[in-house]
Amino acid sequence: MDADNGVFKIKGADGTVVAGQELTFRVDDFVFPIAAEIRDHTATLTPLFDMAHAVYQPVALPYEDTAPWKTPYDREQAAWNRMKDTIAIGATIGTIVGGIGGAAVGCALGGIAVGSGVSLATGIIGGLFFFLPGAVVGCLAGAAAMGALGAVAGMILVSAPVAIGAAIQYFTTINEPFTPAPAK
């Protein structure tokens, strides 16, 4: 183990670096160091979480330094559009991935349950869809039921964290000091 130039490194027996981590952490717009004390095969990492060690480093949007914002309103509109687009993409991906994953699991479980005859509804489903094999009917019913649950899970597990991150980025952008773009 090694802690050089603000990076904690774990090295293999031959001296090659197998893992590393920067010895800092961020709280809002401040970066704080982490002290590393290494003895033999033990590393003690101690965060230095006080204003004496804080370094102000505001988080910025990509290309913010070249953005053509002339007024705070322009900046707010750009930040709002970025936030709504990010949330929309997160919601789309979460719903699609969750829905497809849930439908696949539901298809497998429904096909096994109805196809093997262990379901109480086998007679009813078989009567309604007598022209299809039981496993196919179970697959369709399971996919319909679990697909919707998977979509909800995708919204909770994917879309919600994306929305929170987008909102944080939006409020960080609109609340920082405004610097107008240079005139061309």
Task: Give the pLDDT of residue 135.
Answer: 72
Residue 96 and residue 26 in one domain: no
Task: Give the pLDDT of residue 156.
Answer: 93
Instruction: Show which of 31, 56, 81 is a domain's final residue.
Output: 56
In a domain, 134, yes or no: yes
Residue 166 and residue 78 in one domain: yes
Residue 43 and residue 72 in one domain: no
Instruction: Show which of 56, 76, 102 is a domain's final residue.
Output: 56
Q: In terms of DSSP bridges, do strands 30-39 and 42-47 run parallel, antiparallel, or are they unpaired?
A: antiparallel
pTM, two decimals, is 0.57
Task: Give the pLDDT of residue 123.
Answer: 55
Residue 49 and residue 86 in one domain: no
What whole-number distance in Å separates Cα of residue 158 and Cα of residue 93?
A: 8
Residue 170 and residue 79 in one domain: yes
Q: What is the dihedral of CA 165, 170, 171, 176, to 10 degrees?
A: 120
- Residue pLDDT tens, the chain, 184 long: 888 888 999 988 898 889 999 999 988 788 999 999 999 889 999 999 998 999 988 776 666 667 778 888 998 998 999 999 999 999 999 999 999 999 999 888 887 776 665 555 555 555 565 566 667 777 888 888 899 999 999 999 999 999 999 999 899 888 888 877 766 6
Residue 31 and residue 108 in one domain: no
Residue 12: which domain range?
2-56
In a domain, 100, yes or no: yes
Amino acid at 9: K
In a domain, 180, yes or no: no
What whole-number distance in Å separates Cα of residue 96 and Cα of residue 98?
A: 6
Residue 129 and residue 48 in one domain: no
Residue 31 and residue 97 in one domain: no
Residue 103 and residue 86 in one domain: yes
Residue 167 and residue 150 in one domain: yes
- Tally of structural domains, the chain: 2
Task: Give the pLDDT of residue 125.
Answer: 56
Residue 52 and residue 71 in one domain: no
What whole-number distance in Å separates Cα of residue 24 and Cα of residue 46?
A: 10
Residue 149 and residue 131 in one domain: yes
What whole-number distance in Å separates Cα of residue 78 and Cα of residue 69?
A: 9
Instruction: Show which of 56, 78, 96 is a domain's final residue.
Output: 56
In a domain, 144, yes or no: yes
